[in-house]
Chain A
Amino acid sequence: AQTVTQSQPEMSVQEAETVTLSCTYDTSESDYYLFWYKQPPSRQMILVIRQEAYKQQNATENRFSVNFQKAAKSFSLKISDSQLGDAAMYFCAYRSPAGGTSYGKLTFGQGTILTVHP
């Protein structure tokens, strides 16, 4: 079974600075998908960024980018120019490819609480 580990229960950053959230995972599959989801307090979880394992290029979405190291099974999220609205719980998640027995379900890490200081 796949596992996802986020070793940083809490992180903090000053507004406008850069912060990196860490994630490692364990799998025997060669093809899979990785995600970062954001869960603001009392609000629904939303997708931040997605990475397909077969793509060597790291995904980028505006101020959010990932450092995907497939051999090391590492998938970190970098948030540049942090904003107060970035404060949330961030979850790293793993998904097996379509056609497998996972039916697209996600396996989540424990989460990292990000605090943004003005």
Chain B
Amino acid sequence: DTGVSQNPRHKITKRGQNVTFRCDPISEHNRLYWYRQTLGQGPEFLTYFQNEAQLEKSRLLSDRFSAERPKGSFSTLEIQRTEQGDSAMYLCASSLGANTGELFFGEGSRLTVL
């Protein structure tokens, strides 16, 4: 499978715990995006990487959130001291440059904070 891969698919954690999600983009894609999607809503932009550089972060990304993309390949999204309001689907998408316009999405990582 050469699509965008996200792990774990589902994470249940207790409030206050740290969680980390991983995204493996399509191999030749240099752009990587993280979105958050709550039930019944559209995805909201969190952050964007071009290669290994994090070029934009949304105000939604509080200090408890950190994302990395070492070596410009896979990316991780860590949430520290989780809160119940963090419960959502975290989507990763990748694209090859911006001109094509198409983002390829993974199946998402669903976070449930108890």
Interface of B is mostly: loop
Task: Give the distance to chain A from B100, nearest Cβ to Cβ, in Å.
Answer: 9
User: Closest approach, in angstroms, between the C-beta of A115 and any C-beta of chain B?
Assistant: 14
Question: For window 93-108 of chain A, which residues contact chain B by CB distance below 8 Å?
Answer: 93, 95, 98-99, 101, 103-108
| B90 interfacial contact with A, CB 8 Å | no
Chain B interface size range: 20 to 34
Given contacts A98-B97, A104-B31, A104-B48, 9 further A-B contacts (CB under 8 A): A44-B106, A91-B42, A99-B98, A103-B48, A104-B95, A104-B97, A104-B103, A108-B42, A110-B42
B-side contacts of A35, CB under 8 Å: 101-102
Chain B residues whose CB sits within 8 angstroms of the CB of A11 once the complex forms: none
**How many A-B contacts are there with CB distance less than 8 Å?**
65
* Residues of B bordering A, CB below 8 Å: 3-4, 31, 33, 40-45, 48, 50, 55-56, 91, 93, 95, 97-99, 101-103, 105-108
Chain A contact residues (Cβ within 8 angstroms of B): what range?
20 to 34
Binds B, one of A14-22, A45-53, A62-70, A75-83: A45-53
CA distance in complex: A93, B35 (Å): 13
A93–B98 Cα gap in the complex (Å)?
Answer: 15
**Contact residue among B44, B56, B101, B105 (Cβ-Cβ distance under 8 Å from A45):** B105
